[in-house]
Structures are given as C-alpha cells and as structure tokens.
Structure 1
Amino acid sequence: MTKFALAAATAMVPALAAAQVDQGPANADFEAAFENQTRAPALDDTAVTTETFVDGLDHPWGIALLPGGDYLVTERPGQLRMVMADGTLSEPITGVPDVDNREQGGLLDVAVRDDFAETRRVWLTYAKSVEGGTATAAATGTLSEDGTELTDVQDIFVQSPPADAPMHYGSRIVFEPDSDNAFITTGEHFTQVNRELAQDLGTTYGKVIRVDAVDGTAPEGNPFVGEEGVDTIWSYGHRNIQGAAVGPEGRLWTIEHGPAGGDELNLTEAGENYGWPVVSYGVTYSGNPVGSGDARQEGFAEPVYYWDPVIAPGGMIFYDGDAFDGWGGDILASGLVSQSVVRLELEDGRVTGEERIDVGARVRDVEQAPDGTLIVVTDEAAPNGALVRISPAG
C-alpha cells in the first residue's frame, strides 16, 4: 500500500468518541446546537469520602454559610435552623413567615450577604398562601444575636397572579455583585394553562426577577422598566429554576428543571427569552412533544448545556476552594434524580467536561465549607434528611 493510500484509509476511520458519564438513554431525539452542549466528555473520577454532618432533618431545602463556619438551613415544612460548625443543630428559629407546605411548597431557600456579621440580615424564599391561591415569595429579616429569632420580616417579592397549583415554585435567591440587588427565580406552576404564562411579561411565572434586596423595588437596568411588562422581570421563558449562582465573571447562571429530559444550564441575561414552553430539549412525561415540538427556534436563547435524561437540579455554586485540586471555577450542581453533585468544567463559557460525585440520596443544595470541602443537603423526610460532608479521599 502506498503512503497516499495508507493515509486515505486512515482518514476514513472515525475518531473514537470521548467517554461520557453513564446516564442511560435519552428521552428525546434532538441534535445539540453545538459541540458539548450535552453529554460532554467524562472527567476523571475524583476520589472522595462522604460522612453525615447533621441528620434528623425534615426535607431540608436550602443552606447558607455564616461567618465563623456556622450555617443556616431550611426545612420545607417551615423550620429555619442554625447548624454550628461542629454539627450541633439548633431548635427552630422563631419569626419565620407562615408557609404553604402543600406538594412542592414550603420554606425554601436561605441566603445571607457578605456583611452578615454587621447587619444580621437574612433572606428567605417560600411558598406563600395568598388570596386566590399560592405564590413564590421572598422576604428579609434580622436574626437575633443569639440566633433564636427573626425580627422585622418583610416580603420583598410576591409572585403574581396567585396560582392554583402548589408546584414549580423555583425559589433560589442570589445577590448581584457590587450592588444592592438580588435575583429571585420562579417557576410556572406546572399545569398546561399555567406554563403558558412563562411567556407572558404581565406575570412573574417562569421568570428571573431582579429587585432591590431590601425594599423590593425594580432597579435601573431591568429590561422592562418603562416598557410593556412587569418591571422587576430580568429574563423569561423558564420552567422551574432551582439553581442559581453568580460566576467568577460576575454574571448570573441558572439551572432549571426540564420535563422528561431538557434540564438546562443557562447564562441568564437581561431581557432574554429562554423558550419554555414553546421549545425544549425534552418531551412531556407522557412522551409527547413539548409546545412546537422543536428543541430551538429563532428568538430563543440556547442553553449552554442540557441533560437528557434529567439530573433534576437543585442549588448550584461555582467552586473557588483549594481542597479539590483542579476544580477552581467549576460549576457544582445538585442532582435530585441523579443523587449526586454534578461537576461541570467550563472553558470560555462552554462546558468541556462532566463528573458525577455520588451521594446516594436526593441532593437539593450544595455549599462550600470554609476549608473547601462541600456540605450537601439531602432532601428526604424526617428523620432521613441530612447534611453530608464531601471531602477529598486521603
């Protein structure tokens, strides 16, 4: 065989595809819009150890690190507790708003700002009973010095209109860097009628909301201030956003639940329409097409990454610790169905690799401890709800 013939024959042999995370068959038959938009190459497995940090919780949902290494953690039935750095669990903190604890509702996220030691200010999101139904709400209050009571609690956001379905509340709250503003995520309350409102700028269903974190007013720079639409809306066309974090570059990233397939990681920008329920990389739970039946159309923002089958996302962070070598700047996302922490490696705003760190339980939220290890929230009924520490093995 001549050198030319050998080269031609070699060129005809397809390159071996990079190994992917073992996740099973897809629900939908869509092609990705670009390389590594889904099923990115599998990263090398990280050797870890897991140990229960706190147990006996009832559907814990959100966690926030306090100065000094203590934590605040929510339980969906309506309890807010402090967890000491040594794992001691407090009695429920008083003064928490009443919650609608039906189905997916209850006390949901908790967050504090970097100035907590001076202000003692805490933010909560929750399902609120309102005249005509239920709504995602966000409130802020002051935690007493002894950590036993919230006072001066005031709502800064209440979703409208009231919903008839206690489902898909979204409900993460994160803070915009170098400003007084907060981003609050919502869901579209699940039903066929309700989900259409994710495209309706006259409602706050299926939206990212941007408000002043103390008084709830619409800040300058919101895309619909002075135009048709609710002036606190930042982005729209979302299904049920339960992960949100600000990246190292100061921009907002979110992860939302898809139906059967189609969980999405989005770089979430002002005024953008993310397509739900017109387009989706998933299908309905019965296997029928969603909306138009298309995965994408002109005018809708593409997800940076999507999963099919779903991970069923919870909270997320960008890792900036030293405990796990090579993780700096990576996304760590909670997975309920995947029962794992999902690590995504990013380069120039695109996913270049994925790893699953098995927890063996539904992971609802993840927080980075002061030493760079992880504290993950497992969403189980009492007494099985827990906080689990993940550390490097060895």
Structure 2
Amino acid sequence: MITKRLLIILFSGVTVLSCCSKNNSNGNNDPNPSVAGNPVETNQPNAKYKPAFAGQTRINGVKTVTPYKATVITDALSRPWGITNLPDGRLLITEKEGNMRIVTNTGATRKPITGIPSVNSDGQGGLLGLCIDPQFLSNRMVYWVFSENVTGGTLTAVAKGRLSDNETSIENAIVIYRANPAANSTLHYGGRILFDSSGNLLVSTGERSDESTRPFAQSVTAAIGKIVRITTGGLPATGNPAFTGTGALPELYSIGHRNPQGLALHPTTGDLWQSEHGPRGGDEINRVQPGANYGWPTITYGIEYSGEAVSDIQQQNGMEQPVYYWDPVVSPSGMTFYKGNQIPEWQNNLFIGTLSGMHILRLVIENNRVVGEERLLSSENQRFRDITQGVDNALYAITDGGRLYRISRK
C-alpha cells in the first residue's frame, strides 16, 4: 500500500536554497525514470495556433525521483554567457563584456585571460559561446563567437587562439569567420559553437531582429539566421549540403532560424539539436537536418510583440516543424544532453537554460519526440544562460546574475 509519506516524497516540488548550503532532494532512490503529471505550463498562450502534431507543445510534466542537489559554487562572475570544460575538469567561461576566465569546479575564479579581441557588448552582443579543440591537450586551441564592430554595423564573428601554457592569455587570436551581412542592430547574434564528430565547427547565427534583416533568414546568399558548418580555418566544411539558388553560400548547414542560442549533439544518434528564441511565443527546439529550412519568418508559432501576426501560416511544405515549442516563451539559451551516470533517469535527456523562464528545462526525448518536461531550479529567480556536463558528470550552469551552479546526485 502506498503510504502518505511516500506520496509526499514522490510528488513534492524541488526547493533549492541559496548559496553553498543549497541542497535539494526529493528523497527517493526508486530507479523508475520519472513521475508523470500535468503539463508544467499553465499560463494562457499568446496565440491560438494549433500544433502540427500531438505533444509538440505542453507535454505532460515529469519529476526527477533520484535525490540531487544544486550548489552555487561562485557568484562572482560578471554576466557569463558561455561555459565549456577543460580536460582536467576546470571550466572555461566567457563573460558578456569581453572577458574569458578559468573557474575550478569548487568555484575558485582566476583573473581574466588577456588577448581577446574587443567585442561590442551593447544589447545582446558581447563575448558569446565557446568551445575547445578536440585535440586541446596537444594544441591548446580555443574557439569563440563574439559580436564584432565592422563597417555597416556589427556582425556575428568566430575567432580562435591558443591558450598560453601559463593560462593567462590567448595567443595569436584571429577572426576566422564573419556572418555577413552586417547590420545596425545589437540584437539576435545567435552565438553558440561546437565541434561535430568530423572535427568541423557548427555555429549558430541570428537574423539580427530588424524587419529589414529578418528576410535574410530565408536567403541562401546571407549567413545570418543560419547554422553554418566551417573548418577550423573558417572555410566551408567538406560535405555541407548544397542549397539551390544563385550565390548560395557553401558554409550553410540549415536556414530559417530567428535567434538560435543553443546547440547540442545527441549522445547516441549524433544528431544536432538546437534551441531558438521565438518572438512573443514560438520558442523552439529543433532537430537540425543538413539542408533543411526551419521556416522563420515564413512560418512560426509566435506573434509580434505588438500582438500582430508574424505570418498567417504555421505549416508549409519544404519547411521543418519544431520538435517542440513554447507559448508563452521561456527564452531557451545554452543546452546540453546529459550522458553521465550520476542520475540514471536523466540519461540522454536535454537540459536547457532559460532566460525569461528563469529555470533549467529538462526534456525527456524518445524517438525524436519530447515525451516529458520538467522545470528545475525555478525558485532561484535566475536567468540561466548556459549549461554543460562536467568531466565529473555533474551539470554546471551559469546565470546572467553571475552565478555558477553545480547540480549533482545527493
């Protein structure tokens, strides 16, 4: 017979306290993956659009049953934006204003690394996503995305450089790629970067927000509103899809994106997944196929901030549907798949930092469909900018408020 005590343990919400004493457990070692419940979103949507298939939005909620804890290991960062692992388990973090720092997994923070080219940190710009070379132990190369001042405004740029042996500077920093055209806008840079399995770089770029630049998301002659795939030298990667149209750019991997701030590779399938900011509603999770068109601004489940329609249609042949979308928005940013063994029920789940949502999303995915959603750390009142899995199998998340969280089994 199920006791009252067991029901309380299974269904109680997650409470995470402040600072280093923040321990949290829902107190059950049951290997059953999750406890299902009603959808986590209860607010009215902005639009009355009908999803393309069941489960595309407002899927049933789930709750983690394995005891875990969340700890703030430092709150001394300044608007961190990107986070990645060094081979020894320390973390390399970018800060929006233009700094890059090394932080240990106990929270010890080093001085800013010098040698980073200047950034334009106005609006949504700054020093953005980063990754290290798969051969970092031998070449010490770091790659990052930033907003660069150029003739005609600003653009999303990719740079690389070598982390010095004493870890105080980036040596021989060079810009390897610029996503043209430039725009007089400080919005929608995209900004994530990662290596694919072939040793090439995948980079997300935003369409820069303005109504004048928005149509470029559908243009194969422009690199904004896209995912591009380039070599470590910034050239189009071999094997990229061939888009039709005169002047189609050879670096394009997918088109029709608005402001993609999250990229992650599925641990078992190797598929590229992406998070994307919609306007008022219509935030998306996409499984990105090479050569595919993800629709913005021709199709969308969001509306203009004014309340007017962006488009009269939400589905069109030749344009991909999001695997999942939110309305109202949660503003999904950096994300990672969990492939550790500390919390077995999280295996291959997608974890996403949210900005306006102020929580970490956990999505349970089966057969390329979302089958469960959970909101973690929602009591923290933090804008979660990025999240990664550490060498120690814990999750590490950074917030606009300067915090670095470690989330691990209790």
TM-score, normalized by the shorter chain, greater than 0.5? yes
Cα separation, partners in 2 of 1:142 and 1:363, compared to 1, 3 Å? same
Gaps of 5+ in 1: 1-16
Structure 1 residue 388 corresponds to structure 2 residue 405: yes
Query: 2-side partners of 1:51 and 1:18: how far apart?
Result: 27
Equivalent residue number for residue 354 of structure 2: 335
Query: 1-side partners of 2:164 and 2:376: how far apart?
Result: 37
Please give the secondary structure, in 2, of the residue aligned with 1:355: strand
Structure 1 residue 378 corresponds to structure 2 residue 396: no
Encode CA deviations 1:94-125: one digit per residue, 9 max, x unaligned: 11111011111110111113321121110110
Equivalent residue number for residue 113 of structure 2: 93
Structure 1 residue 279 corresponds to structure 2 residue 310: no
The letter of the residue matching 1:91 is K
Equivalent residue number for residue 219 of structure 1: 237
Query: 1-side partners of 2:271 and 2:71: how far apart?
Result: 33
- Per-residue deviation at 1:370? 2.4
Q: Which runs of 4+ in 1 moved over 4 A?
A: none
The letter of the residue matching 1:151 is E
The letter of the residue matching 2:256 is G
The letter of the residue matching 1:344 is L
- Per-residue deviation at 1:42? 0.5
Residue pair 2:37, 2:62 contacting (<8 A) in 1 also: no
* Higher mean displacement: 146-155 or 72-81: 146-155
The letter of the residue matching 1:210 is R
Query: 1-side partners of 2:88 and 2:251: how far apart?
Result: 34
Aligned residues: 370
Equivalent residue number for residue 33 of structure 2: none
Query: 1-side partners of 2:121 and 2:275: how far apart?
Result: 23
Structure 1 residue 190 corresponds to structure 2 residue 212: no
Query: 2-side partners of 1:260 and 1:389: how far apart?
Result: 31
Encode CA deviations 1:257-276: one digit per residue, 9 max, x unaligned: 00111011111111111110
- Per-residue deviation at 1:161? 1.1
Taking every aligned residue pair, what percent have the same amino acid on both sides?
40
Cα separation, partners in 2 of 1:387 and 1:198, compared to 1, 3 Å? same
Query: 2-side partners of 1:185 and 1:203: how far apart?
Result: 13
Equivalent residue number for residue 356 of structure 1: 375
Query: How well do the aligned residues superpose, as a CA RMSD in angstroms?
Result: 1.6
Equivalent residue number for residue 5 of structure 1: none
The letter of the residue matching 2:237 is P
> Given the two structures, how large is their TM-score scaled by the length of structure 1?
0.91
The letter of the residue matching 2:226 is K
Please give the secondary structure, in 2, of the residue aligned with 1:117: helix
Equivalent residue number for residue 3 of structure 1: none
Equivalent residue number for residue 110 of structure 1: 130
Please give the secondary structure, in 1, of the residue aligned with 2:320: coil
2:166 maps to which of 114, 137, 146: 146
Query: 1-side partners of 2:361 and 2:169: how far apart?
Result: 35
Encode CA deviations 1:159-178: one digit per residue, 9 max, x unaligned: 1111110100001001111x
Residue pair 1:225, 1:232 contacting (<8 A) in 2 also: no
The letter of the residue matching 2:242 is F
1:258 maps to which of 254, 271, 278: 278
